Amino acid sequence: MRKIVVGLARAMSENLGFDENYIEKAFNMKSGFDVMAMNLYPPNSKSKGDIGLPYHTDPGFVVTLVQDVNGGLQILSHKGTWINVYIPHHAILIQLGDHLEVFLLKLISLICLK
């Protein structure tokens, strides 16, 4: 997973017009300080037996998700409605986390100030 994340960081750096290692250096990814969590979500206490968590955002640089047989991942659309996400069996979903979003917003503000 670490190689995948570093590869994604390098690809994003290049696509943003920076040196290949720009994001990797900014996040100090060679430090080895990574967090990986594996969760099996219990029934949501606010629902009637549904599996999952209430609305939340995902911290970190990149979030990977392996879908179990129960499914249930949803994303909130720009219109405020929940959309079911289909993840094929044995696939890995890779999504951008909050830290990368904040980093990119900071980059945009710095570019706009120039």
Tens-place pLDDT, residues 63-103: 877 766 666 678 888 999 988 888 887 788 888 888 888 88
Q: Confidence class of residue 62 from pLDDT cuts 50, 70 and 90?
A: confident
CA distance 100 to 112: 18
Number of domains in the chain: 1
pLDDT for residue 20: 95
CA distance 44 to 51: 6
Residue 45 lies in a domain: no
Question: What are 7-46's pLDDT values in tens digits?
Answer: 988 998 999 889 999 988 988 888 876 666 666 555 555 5
Q: What domain range is 88 assigned to?
A: 2-34+56-113
Residue 46 lies in a domain: no
CA dihedral sign of residues 29, 33, 39, 43: negative
Residue 51 lies in a domain: no
Residue 28 lies in a domain: yes
pLDDT for residue 10: 93
Residue 66 lies in a domain: yes
